[in-house]
Amino acid sequence: MDSCHTENNSRAEMIHSLFLINHAGDIFLEKHWKSVISRSVCDYFFEAKEKAVEPENVPPVLQTPHHYLISIYRDKLFFLSVVQTEVPPLFVIEFLHRVADTIQDYFGECSESLINDNVVTVYELLEEMLDNGFPLATESNVLKEMIRPPTILRSVVNTLTGSSNVGDKLPSGQLSSIPWRRAGVKYTNNEAYFDVIEEIDAIVDKSGTTVFAEIQGVIEASVRLTGMPDLSMTFMNPSLLDDVSFHPCVRFKRWESERALSFIPPDGNFTLMNYHVSSQNLVTIPVYVKQNICFFETGPCGRLDITIGPKQTMGKTVEALMVTIHMPKAVLSANLTATQGNYSYDLATKVLVWDIGKLNPQKLPNLRGSLSLQSGAPKPEDNPSLNIDLKIQQVAISGLKVSRLEMNGEKYKPFKGVKYLTKAGNFQVRT
């Protein structure tokens, strides 16, 4: 960065502009909090996107001569922010996730068509979420008091009368001592549900040895409780958790002293906590893969043989099992037989997908057959790796369990429950 940027650091805004970019690489929305920055700044991002095979692999922070480009990829959309000064990248990444979460919360999903349909509300939200380039109101239920979520009737009335969704009073949450919870919340059915969701990131080598494994966990909450409830959640085995981060409502001192979560919850849906389980011996790999992919020196062909079986699933069924293989460029077609599920090979992208579904431990799924290569093409140097997708309901693969969930501060008895889900994150088997 040049010296004039550094001098202005204290006065400069944190986030200058935001571009929303679809999967195809088209900018479909832009928001500038100060002066307009030309779209050409995104060219550096598009170059990086070209180099990355998968959109998830685009580097989250890119440096250009005058700016930093910080981005996230969510729901097949890129949220790309332009920053002119050195700021903590994780701060900006967290803010971008808040923007995506808010859009999802307001409109039911975060998609290009819904954002375009509600573009006025989206601009109103962005205006409230950042003040002069600094995050201001990012709590969804506080925003909903300032900018009412759209309904079909309100959209029609606004179109006819020319009015907007912006509320005419200050949100009570902004004025209360608990900014994430609005005052005077009332429900006829009081309920608090929590989802413990774990993603396994793993690399397994050809011999079946785990090279790398970690679990990214999150506890998602859906709380609809009257008044000002005070909740506490304890775990059977909190020592498993590394590197935890909490919603601002969690009392950190109580976590440090007792390893318990104590909090007055926001109203509605929110992320209570994120965590890691990174010590390799605690990460169990739920499936094993026996595979053999080989390309012959003579003749334009190769063989493929893959079998998948359950390994450590804690007695639960593996569902939504899918294998994706990025084949070498020379592979023209695949003539395979699947004992379960079905497969497809996309010649343009060279991606083979085997959609298995539920894993039956009594009859293991197998995919085998021949691969045709371009004639005259050299034998591929590297064998492709397998990407595994799966889900296991009602289990957190780390072994994390909620032991108690209690409520104080209110007299009624709420419905409460905890569900568990394990799924594959970036799960790769090398061949």
Q: Give the start-end residues of each E strand in 227-381.
A: 230-235, 242-246, 260-263, 268-277, 287-295, 301-310, 318-326, 331-338, 342-346, 351-357, 366-373
Distance from C-alpha of 317 to C-alpha of 300, rounded to nearest angstrom: 39
- Give the pLDDT band of residue 1 (cuts 50, 70, 90): very low
Across 145-161, average pLDDT: 56
- Residue 46's pLDDT is what? 94
- Residue 160's pLDDT is what? 55
- Residue 151's pLDDT is what? 56
Q: What is the pLDDT of residues 376-390, one digit of tens each?
A: 778 888 889 999 999
Across 220-225, average pLDDT: 96
pLDDT tops 90 at residue 282:
no
Enumerate the H helices of 172-299 as residue ranges.
172-175, 252-258
pLDDT tops 70 at residue 359:
yes
- Give the pLDDT band of residue 297 (cuts 50, 70, 90): confident
pLDDT tops 60 at residue 398:
yes
CB 251 within 8 A of CB 262: yes
Phi, psi of 231 (to 5 degrees): -105, 150
| Cβ neighbour number for residue 33 with a 10 Å cutoff | 18
Q: What is the CA radius of gyration of the chain?
A: 25
- Residue 223's pLDDT is what? 96
CB 308 within 8 A of CB 359: yes
State the sign of the Cα–Cα–Cα–Cα dihedral 116, 118, 123, 126.
negative
Percent of the chain with pLDDT over 70: 86
What global pTM score does this model have? 0.75
Q: Are strands 386-393 and 318-326 parallel, antiparallel or unpaired?
A: antiparallel
Q: What is the pLDDT of residues 298-346, one digit of tens each?
A: 777 889 999 999 998 888 999 999 999 999 988 999 999 999 999 999 9
Which domains can be identified in the chain, with CATH numbers? 17-138 (3.30.450.60), 191-283+397-429 (2.60.40.1170), 287-393 (2.60.40.1170)
| Cβ neighbour number for residue 156 with a 10 Å cutoff | 10
For tokens 């969701």, what's the residue? 197
Q: What is the pLDDT of residues 185-203, one digit of tens each?
A: 899 999 999 999 999 999 9
Contacts of residue 138, defined as CB under 8 A and 6 or more positions apart, other chains included, come to: 95, 98, 102, 129
Which is more confidently placed, 324 or 135? 324
The mean pLDDT of the chain is 86
Mapped onto helix, strand or coil, the DSSP state of residue 24 is coil
CB 43 within 8 A of CB 25: no
Across 232-245, average pLDDT: 92
Q: Are strands 415-429 and 191-204 parallel, antiparallel or unpaired?
A: parallel
Run of H or E including 393: strand 386-393
| Nearest C-alpha neighbor of 70 from the set 54, 52, 48 | 48
Distance from C-alpha of 134 to C-alpha of 117, rounded to nearest angstrom: 27
